[in-house]
Structure 1
Amino acid sequence: MVTHEFSRESRLLTPEHFSNVFKNPSRFGSSHFTILVTQNENNINRLGLAIAKKRVKLAVQRNRVKRIIRESYRLNQHKLPHIDMVVMVKSGIDQLENQQIEQQLAYIWRKIKRRQPK
């Protein structure tokens, strides 16, 4: 059964989790995203967000972008291989509509699925 939940186990929580991804990642990107990916030993996918104030000035916009990323991940996580990933954004993402952000994320999820082994 496929569950569409985003539980505590589905998140990168500690600095150690994040540093493991930053050590030797595969990079996936679009015009407004960079996603760093590493294989993990767990049988789940885990998501971490690194949305810098330098890139998205207003907290309202940062939170909107985070919400959209989490929701997109939640709906697509069962299609992805067992990986840890950190999503970073590039400047100008706060100018995009929600639908444009979702389209870019959908494109990246497809790229990850094609390139990463199950």
Structure 2
Amino acid sequence: MVKLAFSRELRLLTPSDFTFVFQKPQRASTPQLTALGRLSELGYPRLGLAVAKKHVKRAHERNRIKRLTRESFRLHQHQLPSMDFVILVKKGVADLSNPDLTQMLEKLWRRYCR
């Protein structure tokens, strides 16, 4: 049985975690999202989110995007390489429906699985 939790150890929590990814990222982009990834020594992937007020004005929209992104990561974590990921949102992401956003995230995860 594969465990599909999203525990604390699977999150980027400290500024130094984020800085590590921002220094030498491997980028994958769609018009509304950018995924930055960097190989880590941990043996499992981790996720960090940057959903700026500048691009998504309303809190409930930011929360929806974060919730869907975490859920997508949780379901794909066992196929992903041992990398730290930061998902950045761009303008227009709030206009995406839930299925569209999920599909876009899956496309980004597939690029890193190659």
> Which bracket does the TM-score occupy, shorter chain normalised?
over 0.9
Aligned-pair CA distance for 1:58:
0.4
Structure 1 residues 14-93: aligned runs within 5 Å: 14-93=14-93
Aligned-pair CA distance for 1:83:
0.2
Gaps of 5+ in 1: none
Q: Using the alignment, how far apart are the partners of 2:85 and 2:54 within structure 1?
A: 21
Task: Return the letter of the residue paired with 1:109.
Answer: W
Q: Using the alignment, how far apart are the partners of 2:109 and 2:84 within structure 1?
A: 13
Task: Return the letter of the residue paired with 2:96.
Answer: L
Q: Using the alignment, how far apart are the partners of 2:93 and 2:13 within structure 1?
A: 24
Which 4+ residue blocks in structure 1 deviate beyond 3 angstroms?
none
Task: Return the letter of the residue paired with 1:8.
Answer: R
Aligned-pair CA distance for 1:14:
0.3
Q: CA RMSD in A?
A: 0.7
Task: Return the letter of the residue paired with 1:90.
Answer: K
Identity %: 49
Q: Using the alignment, how far apart are the partners of 2:111 and 2:16 within structure 1?
A: 26
Task: Say how many residue pairs are matched.
Answer: 114
The TM-score with structure 2 as length reference comes to: 0.98
Aligned-pair CA distance for 1:43:
1.1
| SS of residue paired to 1:56 | coil
Aligned-pair CA distance for 1:2:
1.8
Task: Return the letter of the residue paired with 1:47.
Answer: L
Gaps of 5+ in 2: none
| SS of residue paired to 1:79 | coil
Aligned-pair CA distance for 1:7:
0.2
The TM-score with structure 1 as length reference comes to: 0.95
Aligned-pair CA distance for 1:31:
1.5
| SS of residue paired to 1:44 | coil
Aligned-pair CA distance for 1:44:
1.2
